[in-house]
Homo-oligomer: A and B are copies of this chain.
Amino acid sequence: MDKRKRLILHAIIQDYITSAEPVGSRSLVKRHQIDLSPATIRNEMADLEEMGYLKQPHTSAGRIPSPKGYRFYVNSILGDPSPAPEDLARVEELISAAGISLSNNPRQLARLMASVTNYLSLIAEPSDTIQEIRHINIIPLSAASAICLVVLSDGSVRHHSLSIPEGVTPREIKALSDFIDNRLQGVQLQHLDSRLLHSLKTEFAGNLRLIDDIFFLFQHALAAAGQELVMDGATNLLKEPEFKNVEKVRELFRTLEQDEQILKLLVSGSSHLEDLDIKIGPEMGLESFTDCSLVVATFTLRDRKITLGILGPARMHYAKTIGFIRWLREYFSSGGS
């Protein structure tokens, strides 16, 4: 991918973000004062398509970005210093209008986020009744499968099946089970994040073959438990042309009603604590979200892990959204109420 291709790809994505229409070679040249003829652009576009960054809705239409294209774009702007929200004045006005206790009132914060971004906002935070892990046990069922049992402090039991990699012995499983049980007993669910699991992993002396699967399972299966979900601005998504037909809207809302699923999506990101976690369309693994993207930030406030998310169309204005959500995190981290 040479520099010119990158430039063109960016231009196409930016155009598509604002217009939501397939971008043609001619209009691209016009809008961006590129010193090339449409024909040249067409050649480059054909290349980019072959490389998987673009696609054509049909022959003789312009190009639209593929998920891979968005991914490339996002990765390349992620390093940029992110701007404060454009309408910072408005945001601060909203914050002060909402009172000083935004962080205590997730609904209000969610409303603020939705209204600033014009997308759907999501907030996950530990529920008031703090759940901790009582007991963990991995029980081999056969040579190739096992069940992982987790007992929580409210007495509820969760169980999930596991497949065992070849060559892992029952004795090793037992060792792992004991180790994990030993270390995670008493841990609050909200503290069960990738950092903790990572440090456990480096500490564990036994067979590592199974441990990743287990941890993956923890992150996905337990992430949601003990978390409260708040969302706002669902209607914002309905403005987007990708949701012109009601069928898609229905699927979207049907998924949004599954709190558990959404929570998993929010909390299961890996790179959380460092920076943002951005999931593009298919990366979310939810049929009805294929045309959406999710930007997630996590931070800790008064020992509570708060997760903020913005769900918009895959066509979302990434720079703005990233800037805003980084700003928000900064705001709260630096003592902003």
A interface residues with partner B (beta carbon < 8 Å): 232-235, 238-239, 243-246, 249-250, 253-254, 257
Which residues of B have CB within 8 Å of A254? 235
Bound complex: CA A234 to CA B257 (Å): 8
**In the bound complex, do residue B232 and residue A257 qualify as a contact, i.e. CB atoms below 8 Å apart?**
yes
Shortest distance between the CB of A326 and any CB in chain B (Å)? 26
**In the bound complex, do residue B238 and residue A250 qualify as a contact, i.e. CB atoms below 8 Å apart?**
yes
Which residues of B have CB within 8 Å of A245? 246
**In the bound complex, do residue B246 and residue A238 qualify as a contact, i.e. CB atoms below 8 Å apart?**
yes
Bound complex: CA A238 to CA B288 (Å): 15
**In the bound complex, do residue B232 and residue A238 qualify as a contact, i.e. CB atoms below 8 Å apart?**
no
Looking at chain A's contact residues, the main secondary structure is helix
Which residues of B have CB within 8 Å of A253? 234-235, 238
Which residues of B have CB within 8 Å of A234? 253, 257
Shortest distance between the CB of A245 and any CB in chain B (Å)? 7
Bound complex: CA A249 to CA B250 (Å): 10
Residue in B232, B233, B243, B257 whose CB lies within 8 Å of A246: B243
Copy total for this chain: 2
Nearest-CB residue, chain B, relative to A244? B246
19 A-B pairs with CB atoms under 8 Å apart are A232-B257, A233-B257, A234-B253, A234-B257, A235-B250, A235-B253, A235-B254, A235-B257, A238-B246, A238-B249, A238-B250, A238-B253, A239-B250, A243-B246, A244-B246, A245-B246, A246-B246, A246-B249, A249-B249
Which residues of B have CB within 8 Å of A235? 250, 253-254, 257
Most chain B CB within 10 A, of A234, A244, A246, is at A246
Bound complex: CA A243 to CA B246 (Å): 8
Nearest-CB residue, chain B, relative to A241? B246
- Which 4 A-B pairs have CB atoms at the shortest separation, nearest pair first? A238-B250, A235-B253, A235-B254, A235-B250
Nearest-CB residue, chain B, relative to A156? B99
Most chain B CB within 10 A, of A233, A238, A245, is at A238
Bound complex: CA A245 to CA B246 (Å): 7
Bound complex: CA A185 to CA B249 (Å): 47
Q: Can you name 10 extra interface pairs (CB under 8 A) apart from A234-B257, A239-B250? A: A232-B257, A235-B253, A235-B254, A238-B249, A238-B250, A243-B246, A244-B246, A245-B246, A246-B246, A249-B249
Which residues of B have CB within 8 Å of A249? 238, 246, 249
Shortest distance between the CB of A231 and any CB in chain B (Å)? 10
Nearest-CB residue, chain B, relative to A259? B107
Shortest distance between the CB of A12 and any CB in chain B (Å)? 27
